[in-house]
C-alpha cells in the first residue's frame, strides 16, 4: 500500500484520527486537468483528523493541506480499498427493487382487468348479434339502436386494445428495470472493491475560534473545451453569441453544487521549459591500426531529456460572484492565462458524457457582405463580419451556426480576442446569380525594334439580383468579387491589369493581398432586380526568347 508523507515526522499520529466531512466547494478546470478545493467542518481542538474516500485519480505529489488558524504538523496520503457500493447504497437499491416489483404487480393487475373487460365486451357483442338476427327474422329491426350499440362497442374495444398495447410496453420496461436492479444488487453484494485515497492531518496551535482544514489536489481525468452557438439575425446585422463549455470529468467523485472556474492555463506543461543542449561536430579521423585489429569508437550526440517541474498554479479561493449576473461568467486575467468564474454553482457528475456549462451570451453587431470567386465557383456567398465586443476571449472550438431559423451546420472558430473581428459564414445567396465569360485571348508578337511578347486575356463577370432579403436600404446588394491574377517570379516578366471597370479596391488589406497572393478585389453594387458587370483584362509581357509557364 503506497504511503506518501509530505511532513516527514518520525512520531506516529498521536491518536486515532477523527473523520472529517470535507466537501468540494470549488473546482478550477484546466484543458487537461482540474484543481479541486475542499473545506472541512469547523475544528474545535487540535488533534489528528482524516479526510477519507477521495478519488484515486488525484496526483499524490500535488496534494496540499492548510489551516489558517493552526499549524499543519503532519500530512500523510494513504491509499486503501473500499467497497464499490456502500451498505447504505445497497439498502437503497433493495428498496428501489421492491418498489419496481410492486409497480410490476400493479401493471399485471391492470392487464388482468383489461382482459376481463375485453371478454365482457366480446360477450355483449355476440348477444347483440343474436338479438339483431332475431329482430330481422321478425321484421322489427331497430336500425338506429343497432348503430348506436355497435358504435359504443367498437369504441370501447378500441380503447381496451390500445390500453393492452401500452400495458405490454410498460411491463417490458418494468421488467428491464427489475433485471438491472437485480444485477446491480448482485454486483454490490459480491463485494467489488475500488481504490480510494485518505488524507491524514495533524494540527497544532489551533486558536480559540477554531478553524477549517483545506485540502487541494489535482486530478488528471478532467478538462474542458469551448462550444458556441452563433445565431445571425435574418438581416445579418447582428450575431447572438452563446458561449458554453463542455466540462468532462471521470474521477469517480461528483462535483456537487461547486463554484466552477474554467482556466486556459496548462499546468501539465510545468513551469519551466527546456534549454538547448550542446551539440558537438567533429571530423572523423581514421582509426589507428592496432596489432590485434582496430576498434570502432562511436560518438553519441543525443541530448538528455530535462524533467519539467510541476506547479499547482492558480489559487481558487479569492473573490466572489455576488455582483455577477447569473447568466455571465466573470473574466479574470491570470498573467499568461485567462480564467472564467462561472456566475452560479454548478454540478458536474463523473461520467463519460461531458456536462454543458453556460459561460455567457452576448449580442454582437455585424456587417453583412456578399463575396464570390467566379473563376472557382459560380456562387455568391453571404458572410457576416462581427467584432467580439463580449467580455470573453473566444478560444478555438466548435460553433453551431444559424442564420435566422435555419441551421447551417458546424464551423471551426479560431482564437478571437476582445474587440477583434471574425468572420461568420452564412451560406450561399440563391437570389444572386453570377456568370463569368472570357471574351478576349490575344497574343501579340514584338513590334519594330522590340523583343517583348504580349499576352492579354479579358473577362466579363455578370451579376443579377433577383431580390435578396439581405440588402441595402434601396434593395441593392454589394458584392466583393475576388480574382487571382498571376504573380511574377522573374523580374523579366511583367503582369499588368490595363482594364478594370470598376477599379479594384485599394487600402492596406487589399494591397497586402495583392502583393502577397496576387488577389484583386472589386466592390460591385448590383441594384434591386437589376444587373451589373465587372470587366477586367490581364496582360503579361516578357522577352520573346523566354518560355513562360503558369499562364
Q: Residue 279 domain-assigned?
A: no
Predicted local confidence at residue 107, as pLDDT:
87
Mean pLDDT, range 121-141, rounded to an integer: 75
Q: What is the pLDDT of residue 287?
A: 55
Q: Are 183 and 205 within one domain?
A: no
pLDDT attached to residue 123? 85
pLDDT at residue 400, as a whole number: 94
Average pLDDT of 67-88?
Answer: 86
Q: For the chain, what is the mean pLDDT?
A: 83
Cα-flanking dihedrals φ and ψ of residue 161, to 5°?
A: -70, -40
Together in a domain, 528 and 463: yes
Domain boundary among 301, 322, 348: 348
What contacts 33, CB < 8 A, 6 or more positions away? 218, 219, 220, 222, 223, 267, 268
Q: Is residue 33 part of a domain?
A: yes
By C-alpha distance, which of 412, 420, 410 is closest to 385?
Answer: 420
Mean pLDDT is lowest, of 50-59, 168-177, 311-320, 385-394, for 311-320
Q: Is there a single domain that holds both residue 145 and residue 203?
A: no
CA nearest 50: which of 16, 12, 25?
Answer: 16
Is pTM, for the whole model, over 0.85?
A: no
70 in the same domain as 93: no
Q: How many CB atoms lie within 10 A of CB 363?
A: 13
Provide the terminal-to-terminal Cα distance of the chain, rounded to the nearest Å.
Answer: 75
Nearest residue to 360 (alpha-carbon basis) of 239, 225, 242, 231: 242
Predicted confidence (pLDDT) at residue 363 exceeds the cutoff of 90: yes
pLDDT above 70: residue 308: no
pLDDT band at 346 (very low <50, low <70, confident <90, very high): very high
Q: pLDDT band at residue 268, thresholds of 50, 70 and 90?
A: low
> Is pLDDT at 434 greater than 90 in this prediction?
yes
On whether the CB atoms of residues 389 and 362 are closer than 8 A, the answer is yes
Residue 21: is its pLDDT beyond 70? yes
- Does 243 fall in a domain? no
Other C-beta atoms lying within 10 Å of the C-beta of residue 445: 9
Radius of gyration of the chain (CA): 39
Residues 16 and 126 in one domain: no
The pair phi, psi for residue 456, each rounded to 5°, is -130, 135
Helix axes 87-138, 143-189, angle to 10 degrees: 160
In a domain, 442, yes or no: yes
Residue 47: inside a domain, yes or no? yes
Where does residue 397 rank: exposed (0-12), middle (13-18), buried (19+ CB within 10 A)? middle
Question: Do β-strands 238-249 and 355-372 pair in parallel, antiparallel, or remain unpaired?
Answer: antiparallel
Q: Are residues 318 and 454 in the same domain?
A: no
Taking only the tens place, the pLDDT of each residue in 178-193 is: 888 888 777 777 766 7
What are the cell numbers at 73? Answer: 504538523
513-534 per-position pLDDT tens digit: 888 899 999 999 999 999 999 9
Same domain, 92 and 216: no
Domain contains 295: no
| From 198-202, 332-336, 362-366, 479-483, the region with the lowest mean pLDDT | 332-336
Residues 6+ apart with CB under 8 A from 113: none
By CB atoms closer than 10 A (0-12, 13-18, 19+), residue 395 is buried
pLDDT digits (tens, 9 = 90+) for 283-303: 666 655 444 333 333 333 333
- Model confidence at 273, pLDDT cuts 50, 70, 90, reads low
Please give the residue range of the domain that contains residue 521.
432-543
Helix (H/G/I), strand (E/B), else coil: 512:
helix
Is 290 part of any domain? no
Same domain, 197 and 337: yes
- Give the model's confidence band at 251: pLDDT under 50 very low, under 70 low, under 90 confident, else very high: very high
142 sits in which H/E element: none
At 257, is the pLDDT very low, low, confident or very high (cuts 50, 70, 90)? very high
Is 24 a member of any domain?
yes
pLDDT at 151: 82
> What mean pLDDT do residues 421-433 have?
91
User: pLDDT value at position 139?
Assistant: 66
* Cell 410498460 belongs to residue: 170
SS3 181: helix
Task: Using CA atoms of 130, 136, 138, 139 in order, give the dihedral in degrees to the nearest 10.
Answer: 160
Tally of structural domains, the chain: 3
| Same structural domain, 12 and 158 | no
List, for residues 5-19, the tens digit of each pLDDT value: 333 333 444 468 899
Q: Last residue of a domain, which of 146, 171, 189?
A: 189
pLDDT given for residue 15 in this prediction: 61
φ/ψ of 117, rounded to 5, equals: -65, -40
Bridge partners for 425 per DSSP: 383
120/162 same-domain check: yes
Q: How confident is the model at residue 482 (pLDDT cuts 50, 70, 90)?
A: very high
- Over residues 185-223, the pLDDT tens digits come to 777 777 667 899 999 999 998 887 888 999 999 999 999
Same domain, 201 and 341: yes
Query: Does residue 136 carry a pLDDT above 90?
Result: no
Mean pLDDT over 324-344 rounds to 71
CA–CA distances in Å: residue 131 to residues 123, 134, 156? 12, 5, 20
What pLDDT score was predicted for residue 4?
Answer: 39
pLDDT value at residue 537: 95
Compare 164 and 246 and report the one with higher pLDDT: 246
Query: Mean pLDDT, to the nearest integer, of 164-179?
Result: 88
Q: Is the domain of 438 the same as that of 539?
A: yes
Amino acid at each position: 500500500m503506497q504511503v506518501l508523507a509530505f511532513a516527514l515526522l518520525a512520531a506516529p499520529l498521536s491518536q486515532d484520527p477523527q473523520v472529517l466531512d470535507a466537501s468540494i466547494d470549488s473546482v478550477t478546470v484546466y484543458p487537461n486537468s482540474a484543481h479541486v478545493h475542499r473545506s472541512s467542518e469547523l475544528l474545535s481542538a487540535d488533534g489528528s483528523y482524516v479526510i477519507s474516500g477521495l478519488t484515486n485519480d488525484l496526483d499524490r505529489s500535488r496534494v496540499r493541506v492548510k489551516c489558517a488558524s493552526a499549524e499543519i504538523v503532519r500530512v500523510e496520503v494513504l491509499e486503501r480499498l473500499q467497497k464499490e457500493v456502500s451498505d447504505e447504497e445497497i439498502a437503497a437499491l433493495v428498496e428501489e427493487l421492491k418498489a419496481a416489483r410492486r409497480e410490476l404487480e400493479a401493471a399485471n393487475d391492470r392487464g388482468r382487468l383489461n382482459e376481463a373487460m375485453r371478454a365482457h365486451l366480446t360477450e355483449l357483442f355476440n348477444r347483440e348479434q343474436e338479438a339483431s338476427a332475431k329482430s330481422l327474422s321478425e321484421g322489427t329491426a331497430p336500425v338506429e339502436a343497432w348503430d348506436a350499440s355497435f358504435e359504443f362497442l367498437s369504441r370501447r374495444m378500441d380503447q381496451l386494445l390500445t390500453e393492452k398495447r401500452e400495458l405490454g410496453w410498460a411491463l417490458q420496461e418494468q421488467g428491464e428495470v427489475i433485471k438491472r436492479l437485480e444485477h446491480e444488487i448482485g454486483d454490490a453484494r459480491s463485494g467489488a472493491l475500488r481504490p480510494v485515497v485518505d488524507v491524514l492531518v495533524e494540527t497544532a496551535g489551533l486558536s480559540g475560534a477554531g478553524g477549517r482544514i483545506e485540502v487541494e489536489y489535482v486530478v488528471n481525468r478532467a478538462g474542458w473545451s469551448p462550444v458556441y452557438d452563433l445565431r445571425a439575425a435574418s438581416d445579418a446585422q447582428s450575431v447572438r453569441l452563446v458561449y458554453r463549455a463542455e466540462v468532462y470529468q471521470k474521477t469517480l467523485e461528483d462535483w456537487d453544487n461547486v463554484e466552477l472556474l474554467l482556466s486556459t492555463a496548462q499546468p501539465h506543461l510545468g513551469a519551466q521549459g527546456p534549454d538547448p543542449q550542446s551539440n558537438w561536430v567533429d571530423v572523423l579521423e581514421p582509426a589507428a591500426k592496432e596489432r590485434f585489429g582496430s576498434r570502432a569508437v562511436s560518438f553519441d550526440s543525443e541530448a538528455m531529456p530535462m524533467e519539467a517541474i510541476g506547479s499547482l498554479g492558480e489559487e481558487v479561493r479569492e473573490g466572489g460572484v455576488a455582483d455577477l449576473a447569473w447568466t455571465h461568467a466573470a473574466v479574470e486575467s491570470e498573467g499568461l492565462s485567462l480564467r472564467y468564474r462561472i456566475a452560479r454553482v454548478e454540478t458536474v457528475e463523473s461520467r463519460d458524457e461531458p456536462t454543458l456549462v453556460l459561460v455567457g451570451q452576448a449580442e454582437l453587431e455585424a456587417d453583412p457582405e456578399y463575396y464570390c470567386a467566379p473563376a472557382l465557383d459560380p456562387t455568391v456567398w453571404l458572410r457576416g463580419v462581427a467584432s467580439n465586443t463580449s467580455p470573453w476571449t473566444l478560444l478555438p472550438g466548435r460553433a453551431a451556426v444559424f442564420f435566422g431559423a435555419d441551421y447551417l451546420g458546424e464551423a471551426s472558430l479560431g482564437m478571437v480576442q476582445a474587440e477583434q473581428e471574425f468572420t461568420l459564414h452564412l451560406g450561399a445567396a440563391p437570389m444572386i446569380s453570377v456568370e463569368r465569360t472570357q471574351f478576349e485571348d490575344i497574343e501579340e508578337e514584338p513590334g519594330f525594334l522590340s523583343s517583348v511578347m504580349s499576352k492579354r486575356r479579358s473577362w466579363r463577370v455578370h451579376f443579377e439580383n433577383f431580390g435578396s432579403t439581405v440588402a441595402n436600404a434601396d434593395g441593392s446588394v454589394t458584392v466583393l468579387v475576388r480574382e487571382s491574377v498571376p504573380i511574377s517570379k522573374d523580374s523579366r516578366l511583367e503582369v499588368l491589369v490595363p482594364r478594370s471597370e470598376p477599379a479594384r479596391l485599394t487600402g492596406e488589406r487589399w494591397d497586402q493581398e495583392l502583393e502577397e497572393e496576387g488577389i484583386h478585389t472589386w466592390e460591385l453594387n448590383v441594384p434591386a432586380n437589376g444587373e451589373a458587370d465587372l470587366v477586367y483584362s490581364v496582360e503579361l509581357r516578357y522577352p520573346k526568347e523566354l518560355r513562360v509557364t503558369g499562364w
